[in-house]
Amino acid sequence: MESGAAVRGAARPQRPKSLRTRFGNLLSFRWAAIALILIGWFVYYPIVDNFIVSTTDQDIYTGEVTNVGLANYDRLLHDPVVLLALWNNCLYAIISIVFQVFGAFLLAAIIEDLRSERWRRLWRAIYFVPSAISITVTGLLFYFIYQPQIGLLDAALSRVGLSQLVLPWLGNEHTAIYAIIAMSQWQGFGYSTLLFAIAIQKIPRDLYDAATMDGAGPLRRLWSITFPLTREMTGLMIIVTITGAFQVFNEVMVMTAGGPNNSSQVLGTWLYQKAFIEDNFGYGSAIAAVIFVLTMLTGAAQLWYTKRRRVQL
Amino acid sequence: MSATVAAGRARHVNVWSVIARTFLYSFLVCLGVVVIYPLIWMALSGFKDNAQIFGDPFALPVHWSWNNYVQAWNQGVRGYVTVSVLVTVASAICTVLISAWTAFGLTRTRMPAKPLVIAIVLGGLMLSPTVAIIPLVKMLQALGLYNTYWALIILYTAFRVPFTTFLIRAYMLDLPGDIDEAATMDGASEGQIFWRITLPLCRPIIISCVILHVLFAWNEYLFAMIFTSGSDVQTLPVGLTSIMATHGTNYAVVFAAMTISALPIVIVFFAAQRYFIRGLSEGIGK
């Protein structure tokens, strides 16, 4: 039955396709069938449906659906928390690019410059550990660390004589979002350091040897060899980081749930607040649509970037 | 003359490079402490009693007792661990099998319209769970899957198949095709080639994919929080927040529960580091 499909193209001379081979070729779809159904049903369809829901106002208790057109989007434009959330997402992106892209790049360069492979492996592994742990755990952990009564941070600050800096970090409108972002850097920098380390390992060693022969110091080698030759990874990491920053949800949810006074809301938590706490699916979907557009833009940038490198996707 | 200048410069450089190296090493150590100390603090706090937790946070536990760990385990963590293991294992098997099938179809058969199939599957990489969450709630409620393991198993599979297919497909493209051509000549069916030849050859990348999936499924929070409400179907990340809510004042038990939920994944990471790093470098470095 399957032999018609299994014969590989190059093995036989071309001849007009018989119905039987065509049927055999179609049968090959069965290999991808489950994936296509699952993805279509649970990944693509919800996105389409989201746009439909966003033009409605739905009461989930009575199930009553009213079509409201673009009213939810209009409301979105006049919602100050949406603007604040968007700004917090941008802060997330900017700070993460500084620490998790450029900081991680420098750290990876320092680690890969060590002579002993055992030490290199150890540092990479140590810095990575927080990335392996669930955001719920690290979020709760930092919730405790930032707490004034039992936390490490304020205790450490007063111990080194900086007690004027002691603060309820997550309870303060001005510091909450920064405290969350700081936790996120702590958790995520090891992951990008590992990726940069992998990229640096792919650079041929003799380039460095030749540069050293020519009298190039470590900084010069970093700037003239390591940086240019990992630029693709840097570009990709910037895009991935921005995408991640617009999808942030877990850490904010666990640590402050957007508070105090909505000061640490991001788009994801505001969506949750509106859709699931206030039961407003229509407005929640409109916020989701904003996240969708933003991530599609960065996704398109990523596609363009990888295509440009002629990488087979 | 020029020789002495060169020697002088070399010594000069050496002094600076020693200072620079010392500085860099101490930087690495400090950063390591910042990364690891909070985790050690978490595990140690699980041994303390509440009075001690409100005392000096840098102090070691006075009485080393497993009480909090035992209490945390018996008051819910055991159930959450069971659910987490179940959901993680089931979704890992589904994801890897479905992805391997798809990758096989895309690289080893004469499936028509391959570029379209590739675009559909890999396009799923760009779509985020957050955007789909509201329609998914309606859908899973309609299907009667709300508040069941199945909701999580299906969603983890559906959302991870694109990435896993991407990894396995890249690996299969690099595999030589002559073995399965020979097998075809001998009359082997596509199914036999997949199970007997291609899948065993893909073992390394399959292991990497399983590990990446375990890491994802064990830690996933958004879906788990939204699609489960009963404590009998909640996974660890959601269970932890429930423990936090119910034991809010007994911090020591919460610390113990956090440590219990972090430990397995740290062990998995250290045990399978090699495969894990391969998966990452295949995934993003390509």
The least confident of A225-239, B58-72, B74-88, B196-210 is: B58-72
CA distance B4 to chain A (A): 17
> Does residue A306 carry a pLDDT above 80?
no
The answer to whether ipTM exceeds 0.90 is no
Tens-place pLDDT, residues B164-215: 998 899 888 888 878 878 888 888 888 888 888 889 989 888 988 998 899 8
Which residues of chain A lie closer than 8 angstroms to B225, CB-CB?
A: 253
Out of A24-38, B90-104, B141-155, least confident range: A24-38
Residue B284 is predicted with a pLDDT of 60
Q: What is the pLDDT of residue B9?
A: 53
Interval A246-305: pLDDT, tens: 989 999 999 998 878 899 999 999 999 998 888 888 899 999 999 999 988 888 887 787
Higher pLDDT, A175 or B125: A175
The domain limits of chain A are 79-308
- Look at A194-203, B79-88, B205-214, B241-250 and tell me which has the smallest mean pLDDT: B241-250
Residue A311 has pLDDT above 50, yes or no: no
Which residues from A are below 8 Å from B28, CB to CB?
A: 110-111, 123
Largest CA distance in chain A: 85
The pLDDT of residue B233: 87
| Residue A14: predicted pLDDT | 52
Over 80: is that where the pLDDT of A102 sits? yes
Topology classification of domain A79-308 = MetI-like fold (1.10.3720)
What is the average pLDDT value for chain B, to the nearest integer?
85
CB contact, 8 Å: B93 with chain A?
no
3-state secondary structure chain A: CCHHHHCCHHHCCCCCCCHHHHHHHHHCCHHHHHHHHHHHHHHHHHHHHHHHHCCEEECCCCCCEEECCCHHHHHHHCCHHHHHHHHHHHHHHHHHHHHHHHHHHHHHHHHHCCCCHHHHHHHHHHHHHHHHCCHHHHHHHHHHHCCCCCCHHHHHHHHCCCHHHCCCHHHCCCCHHHHHHHHHHHHHHHHHHHHHHHHHHCCCHHHHHHHHHCCCCHHHHHHHHHHHHCHHHHHHHHHHHHHHHHCCCHHHHHHCCCCCCCCCCCHHHHHHHHHHHCCCHHHHHHHHHHHHHHHHHHHHHHHHHHHHCCCCC
Q: What is the dihedral of CA A172, A173, A174, A176, to 10 degrees?
A: 70
Please indicate whether, in this complex, the C-beta atoms of B98 and A35 are within 8 angstroms of each other. Answer: yes
**What pLDDT shows up at residue A8?**
46
Cβ contacts of A311 on chain B, cutoff 8 Å? 286
pTM, entire model: 0.85
Partners of A198 on chain B (C-beta within 8 Å) are 277, 280-281, 285
Q: Is the pLDDT of residue A161 over 80?
A: no
pLDDT confidence of residue A243: 87
- Comparing alpha-carbon positions, the chain B residue that sits nearest to A257 is B241
The pLDDT > 90 percentage for chain B reads 26
pLDDT at residue B189, as a whole number: 84
Q: Residue B266 gets which letter from DSSP?
A: H
B193–A41 C-beta distance less than 8 A: no
